[in-house]
């Protein structure tokens, strides 16, 4: 390395040093310490004590842990495909040449920029079993609405319905992908007698498959880490812990029970689950995702 190259390297390092310091202090150090705490008995107020894999063995015997894991996967299995399908359908509609198209696009995206806490508070009122607007509207067609937030049977379906509200970001991504699909393909298929469903399956889906894959991965990550909405709407997990999600239970262990070591172990289990599912989806989608260079 010449003297000029060393000077350029040092100058470049100085320019990015604020970012490097931020990454080390606020990302790398906390991640490394959480891995260490996962093998410790640590309550923040005293020094961590090394206990080996005790936190993980305790987790395996913790019925509440398994309950939170079940609730989270139940939510993910239903909310992810429903959100993706709804977002794609909305994007297809917003991609049509209709009057006021820009206004409708803004309306569908607006819920994505509203703070989650505010959205959750609104939904609490809407899903109120006695005075909520949803049950009030159902009464007009002769349906007695359920106790959405106080009946264990309905808590998870309620949160799945709420997740449909914030598909704006996914819609925008789908919409951008749809606008890249050549219209000549649709015109040729239409001349050959292909209907809307056929065009969707054989033209739209393959050409936007990388975007579907991306939104699926982001959906998995978001669903397994869902926290704000269930925490605000149902507090400690709802009746019989029917809506106690993994992230909520992790938060409770860290900041309510002061079991920071146990919470760190839970965080690493969550990381392994997300990484494993991401790898699995990537492997399964290899034959179904088509890129421009393929």
Q: Where are the domains of the chain?
A: 62-284
Stated as kind and residue range, the H or E segment containing 50 is strand 49-50
Neighbour tally for 11: CB within 10 Å: 9
Integer Cα distance of 167 and 223 in angstroms: 13
pLDDT tens, position by position, 236-278: 788 899 999 999 999 999 999 999 999 999 999 999 999 999 9
List the CATH code of the domain at 62-284: 1.10.3720.10
The predicted structure's pLDDT at residue 279? 95
Asked whether the beta carbons of 145 and 132 are under 8 A apart, the reply is: yes
pLDDT tens, position by position, 106-160: 877 888 788 888 889 999 999 988 888 899 888 888 888 889 999 999 999 999 9
Question: Per this entry, what is the length of the chain?
Answer: 294
Go through 25-38 and write b for each residue having 16 or more CB atoms within 10 A of its CB, e for each that does not. eeeeeeeeebeebb
Report whether pLDDT(93) > 80. yes
């Amino acid at each position: 390395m010449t003297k000029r190259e060393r000077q350029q390297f040092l100058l470049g390092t100085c320019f990015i040093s604020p970012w490097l310091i931020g990454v080390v202090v606020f990302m790398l150090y906390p991640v490394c310490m959480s891995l260490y705490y996962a093998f410790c008995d640590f309550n923040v107020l005293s020094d961590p004590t090394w206990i080996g894999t005790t936190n993980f063995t305790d987790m395996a015997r913790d019925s509440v842990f398994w309950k939170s894991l079940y609730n989270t996967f139940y939510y993910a299995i239903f909310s992810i495909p429903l959100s993706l399908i709804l977002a794609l359908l909305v994007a297809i509609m917003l991609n049509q040449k209709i009057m006021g198209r820009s206004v409708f696009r803004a309306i569908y995206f607006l819920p994505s920029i509203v703070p989650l806490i505010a959205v959750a508070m609104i939904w609490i009122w809407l899903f109120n079993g006695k005075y909520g607007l949803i049950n009030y509207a159902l009464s007009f067609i002769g349906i007695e609405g359920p106790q959405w937030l106080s009946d264990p049977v309905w808590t998870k379906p309620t949160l799945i319905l709420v997740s449909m509200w914030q598909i704006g970001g996914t819609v925008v991504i789908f919409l951008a992908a749809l606008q890249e699909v050549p219209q000549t393909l649709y015109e040729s298929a239409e001349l050959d007698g292909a209907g809307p469903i056929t065009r969707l399956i054989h033209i739209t889906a393959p050409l936007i498959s990388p975007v579907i894959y991306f939104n699926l991965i982001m959906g998995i990550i978001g669903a397994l880490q869902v926290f704000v909405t269930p925490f605000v709407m149902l507090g400690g997990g709802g009746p019989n812990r029917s809506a106690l999600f993994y992230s909520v239970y992790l938060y409770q262990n860290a900041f309510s029970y002061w079991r920071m070591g146990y919470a760190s172990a839970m965080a690493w289990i969550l990381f392994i689950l997300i990484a494993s599912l991401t790898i699995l989806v990537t492997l399964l989608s290899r034959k179904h995702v088509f890129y421009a260079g393929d």
